[in-house]
């Protein structure tokens, strides 16, 4: 008779075969067994309302029946081919129709790949080498992306700080770093170094921090003026903030954007999307050998991922979907405020209703360095208490989604009341 294996047993096994006993993504002590709708269960059977949702892809919930039906139908026709396939072409048509900057798309498997290729594409198009990114901005795991992602050593801008071992100095030397939401600094830096800059890459919502009025538009105008490629990293915000992404939501259109997470419906799929004259560098017949940007991927445009993405985007396009998503997020935001204010805990709710979190500070949060004011002891107490009361959220964000029910929101509200009290009783620590 088969016996169940406990979560501790799985953790012990993981410690033997996985560095740091995990996949490198999340708390390795939590091993999820299954998910359905708005909820997940760990290997011990503990149930959680899920605000992690796979780090974003499961916007319509786990195991949505329409997505499962589409996937099951494709499974009988083939898992992957490496050649082009009709479902991937259909999805590309949907992406081009939806995303303002997109004339064409090129598939990869992960958002980090998409960001890497977007920077390479910009270099090919401009003939320049330097990349401007913003301190604290996350753009995957390439050498360029791992510059000043989460530096604890705060140096003078525009110097880059590597966040990982194994990155050559030459990568650092081709990166320029600016503070998010500082139009004056960005303008000064770009005006001085424009002839060297291939692209400006930016998350329209940087992790949690919204752009201040005029910031994204200033980047757009500067990029246009100096022939720089403006790249929006929309791996997180694409199809989350609006059907056309953050570029629709904020009303600023880049030259290129990167997409991931939601477009694969829970399967590995990502894309670079943008203007045809830049995307042409993926086509040697148009730009020649000197301008050609080489790119292949075994699973790029995988048909199973494509049908999952197609069905997910079809659900999101239906009337009322984004209104429901925003309403769920606003209600959660209000629950955070209500209980933290009642407990007398200094805090700021940072982000947009579709993606936000609480920062335990009484100071404004407008750039990465402001996050150093977060009271980490209170943050840890708050998140730990939520987990113990059946709420799964990442340490630094909360994803609202469409699978949430009235019962979920009421249970979350009750858990937030308890977490706010635990937070109020915690000591203070101000290091990130």
Q: What is the pLDDT of residue 430?
A: 58
Q: Which stretches of the chain drop beneath a pLDDT of 50?
A: 1-2, 432
Domains 31-63+320-425 and 65-317 share a fold: no
Q: What is the pLDDT of residue 241?
A: 98
Per-domain residue ranges of the chain: 31-63+320-425, 65-317
**Among the options 115, 133, 249, 261, which is catalytic?**
261
Do 209 and 396 meet the contact criterion of CB atoms below 8 Å apart?
no
Contacts of 277 (CB under 8 A, 6+ apart): 125
What CATH number belongs to 31-63+320-425? Answer: 3.90.1150.10
Q: What is the pLDDT of residue 426?
A: 79
- Report the sign of the C-alpha dihedral through residues 404, 407, 409, 411, in that order: negative
**Among the options 107, 117, 138, 322, which is catalytic?**
138
d(CA 336, CA 198): 41
Q: What is the pLDDT of residue 3?
A: 56
**Among the options 50, 115, 233, 375, which is catalytic?**
233
Do 120 and 293 meet the contact criterion of CB atoms below 8 Å apart?
yes
Looking at the DSSP assignment, which residues form a beta bridge with residue 188?
A: none
Q: What is the pLDDT of residue 1?
A: 39
Instruction: Report the top-level CATH class of 65-317.
Output: alpha beta
Phi-psi region of 33 (alpha: psi -120 to 50; beta: other; left: phi over 0): alpha
Is the model's pTM score more than 0.85?
yes
- Output b/e per residue, 349-369; b: 16+ Cβ within 10 A: bbbbbbbbbbbbbeeebbbbe
Of 257, 285, 260, the residue nearest 101 (C-alpha): 257
At 127-137, the pLDDT tens digits run 999 999 999 99
Contacts of 93 (CB under 8 A, 6+ apart): none
Largest CA distance in the chain: 72
Cis omega (within 30 of 0) for bond into 158: yes
User: Can 233 be counted among the known catalytic residues?
Assistant: yes
d(CA 35, CA 79): 22
d(CA 97, CA 93): 6
At how many degrees (to 10) do helices 303-317 and 86-98 cross? Answer: 40
């Amino acid at each position: 008779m088969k016996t169940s294996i406990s979560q501790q047993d799985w953790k012990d096994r993981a410690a033997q075969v996985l560095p740091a006993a995990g996949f490198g993504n999340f708390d390795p002590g939590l091993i999820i067994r299954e998910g359905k709708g708005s909820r997940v269960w760990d290997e011990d059977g503990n149930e959680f309302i899920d605000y992690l949702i796979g780090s974003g892809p499961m916007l319509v919930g786990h195991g949505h029946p329409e997505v499962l039906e589409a996937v099951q139908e494709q499974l009988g026709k083939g898992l992957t081919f490496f050649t082009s396939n009709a479902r991937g072409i259909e999805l590309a048509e949907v992406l081009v129709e939806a995303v303002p900057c997109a004339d064409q798309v090129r598939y990869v498997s992960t958002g980090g790949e998409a960001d890497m290729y977007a920077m390479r594409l910009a270099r090919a198009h401009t003939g320049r080498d330097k990349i401007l990114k913003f301190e604290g901005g996350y753009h995957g795991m390439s050498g360029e992306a791992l510059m000043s992602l989460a530096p604890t050593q705060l140096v003078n801008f525009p110097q880059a700080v590597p966040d990982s071992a194994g990155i050559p100095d030459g990568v650092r030397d081709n990166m320029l770093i600016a503070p998010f939401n500082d139009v004056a600094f960005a303008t000064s830096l770009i005006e001085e170094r424009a002839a060297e800059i291939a692209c400006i890459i930016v998350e329209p919502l940087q992790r949690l921090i919204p752009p201040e009025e005029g910031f994204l538009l200033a980047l757009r105008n500067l990029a246009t003026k100096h022939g720089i490629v403006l790249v929006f990293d929309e791996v997180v915000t694409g199809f989350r903030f609006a059907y056309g992404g953050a570029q629709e939501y904020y009303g600023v259109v880049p030259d290129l954007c990167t997409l991931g997470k939601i477009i694969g419906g829970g399967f590995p799929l990502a894309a670079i999307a943008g203007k045809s004259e830049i995307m042409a560098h993926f086509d040697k017949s148009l730009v020649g050998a000197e301008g050609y940007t080489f790119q292949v991927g075994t699973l790029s445009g995988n048909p199973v991922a494509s049908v999952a993405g197609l069905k997910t985007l079809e659900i999101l396009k239906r009337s009322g979907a984004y209104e429901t998503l925003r309403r769920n997020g606003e209600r959660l935001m209000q629950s955070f405020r209500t209980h933290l204010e009642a407990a007398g805990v200094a805090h700021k709710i940072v982000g947009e209703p579709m993606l936000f979190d609480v920062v335990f500070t009484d100071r404004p949060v407008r750039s990465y360095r402001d996050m150093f004011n977060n009271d980490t002891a209170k943050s840890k107490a708050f998140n730990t208490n939520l987990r113990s009361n059946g709420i799964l959220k990442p340490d630094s964000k909360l994803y609202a989604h469409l699978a949430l029910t009235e019962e979920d929101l009421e249970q979350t509200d009750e858990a937030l009341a308890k977490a706010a009290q635990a937070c109020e009783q915690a000591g203070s620590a101000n290091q990130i």
